């Protein structure tokens, strides 16, 4: 698999507005006390996410003035273009490439909509060539960072001399349903943050050959589980669907899925040195760790990312991957599994080799 696609770099961008979790708890408490919600319960649910703080698309005070979906989505388009551009420029700079070198642009999001899609809006801002093949993907949610890498690698297997960029933009804070005092929404408001990530990949015949190779990928769909996670689209925008069963579904499935995937490649878990797991939340990460019988340090990078910036939906697993690449810990011959799960319910697995 010497000529497999490679991940050269991962660029990242975070909005400039940062709020620590205690400040956000206070802001939500001020709002939700009029709904007679148990404020001690609110604080406990937020602190249980183990998120220390999050970057937000807007200053905290501006969220109270967002009255409908149109205003939220307009903010998504404006801020999304800003952080998306920054992430792509950062990724290309790290890879030693220019916008004119890019042949494929994959774009994933689940937190805003536009036509033309955000990737089209970035074509002029970034100076991409007019023949770039664009593939916008909406609705995969948290799994889309891994799925987007897999789809980009598929394209580069067909065009091994070319370059692909996967851009994820998730501004989760803009989906806030301020009148929804359900436990699912309370947890979501304590867990999800905002950010963008851009992975730069090359085909196996491209002259730039640094970074891990994507040896194989696997998609797994779990029938009749659409109730586990997603959006209910209402007049005010996206209302979160987040079942308490998510950790159980992860723990029941991910171990067998990973083992079957590795067996196809003639491998077992003990050969994997690097585990790049989506930061779904502390209970989801614990379910992932337990199902695969991993020590906590095996996914310490994911726990740290969750604590520092929260769950960024599809961008999260790309942030964790970028942190691993920056650390330069991987050595030639190392193998890694990149994994994410999301609405469907489904999982995406990638086998990486350095």
Say how far residue 284 (Cα) sits from the centre of its chain: 14
CA gap 85, 323 in Å, rounded: 20
Annotated catalytic residue, options 56, 137, 142, 169: 142
Active site (annotated) includes residue 142: yes
CA gap 128, 77 in Å, rounded: 19
Say how far residue 215 (Cα) sits from the centre of its chain: 21
CA gap 9, 167 in Å, rounded: 12
Write the burial class of residue 2 (CB in 10 Å: 0-12 exposed, 13-18 middle, 19+ buried). exposed
What are residue 71's phi and psi, to 5 degrees? -65, -40
CA gap 71, 332 in Å, rounded: 49
Angle at which helices 21-32 and 183-191 cross, to 10°: 150
Alpha helices (runs of H) in 96-142, residue ranges in sequence order? 118-126
Alpha helices (runs of H) in the chain, residue ranges in sequence order? 21-32, 39-48, 69-95, 118-126, 144-158, 183-191, 246-264, 282-291, 300-309, 315-327
Read off the DSSP letter of residue 299.
G
Bridge partners of residue 74, in order along the sequence: none
For the chain, the helix, strand and coil percentages under 3-state DSSP, each to the nearest 5 = 45, 25, 30
Pairing of β 133-138 and β 104-109: parallel
Q: How many CB atoms lie within 10 A of CB 209?
A: 13
CA gap 170, 174 in Å, rounded: 9
Contact 66, 36 (CB under 8 A): no
- Catalytic residue list: 142
């Amino acid at each position: 698999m010497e000529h497999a696609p490679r991940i050269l770099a991962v660029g990242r961008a975070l909005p400039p507005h940062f709020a620590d979790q205690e400040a956000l708890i206070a802001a939500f408490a001020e709002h939700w006390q009029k709904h007679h919600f148990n404020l001690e319960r609110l604080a406990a649910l937020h602190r249980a996410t183990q998120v220390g703080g999050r970057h937000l698309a807007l200053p905290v005070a501006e969220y109270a003035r967002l009255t409908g979906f149109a205003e939220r989505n307009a903010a998504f388009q404006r801020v999304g273009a800003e952080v998306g551009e920054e992430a792509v420029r950062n990724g290309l700079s790290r890879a030693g490439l220019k916008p004119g070198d890019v042949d494929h642009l994959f774009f994933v999001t689940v937190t805003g909509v536009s036509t033309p899609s955000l990737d089209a809006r970035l074509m002029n801002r970034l100076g991409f060539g007019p023949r770039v093949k664009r593939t916008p993907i909406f609705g995969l949610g948290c799994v889309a960072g891994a799925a987007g890498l897999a789809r980009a690698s598929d394209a580069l297997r067909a065009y091994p001399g070319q370059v692909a960029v996967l851009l994820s933009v998730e501004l989760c804070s803009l989906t806030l349903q301020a009148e929804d005092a359900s436990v699912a929404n309370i947890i979501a408001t304590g867990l999800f943050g905002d950010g963008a990530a851009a992975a730069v990949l090359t085909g196996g015949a491209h002259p730039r050959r640094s970074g891990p190779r994507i040896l194989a990928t696997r998609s797994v769909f779990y029938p009749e589980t659409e109730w586990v996670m997603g959006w209910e689209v209402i007049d005010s925008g996206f209302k979160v669907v987040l079942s308490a069963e998510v950790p159980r579904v992860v723990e029941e499935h991910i171990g067998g899925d990973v083992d079957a995937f590795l067996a196809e490649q003639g491998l077992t878990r003990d050969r994997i040195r690097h585990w790049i797991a989506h930061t779904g939340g502390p209970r989801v990460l614990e379910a992932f760790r337990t199902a695969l019988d991993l020590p906590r340090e095996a996914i310490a990078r994911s726990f740290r990312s969750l604590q520092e910036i929260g769950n960024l939906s599809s961008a999260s697993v790309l942030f964790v991957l970028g942190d691993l690449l920056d650390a330069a810990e991987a050595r030639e011959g190392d193998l890694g599994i990149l994994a994410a799960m999301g609405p469907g319910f489904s999982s995406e697995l990638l086998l990486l080799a350095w």
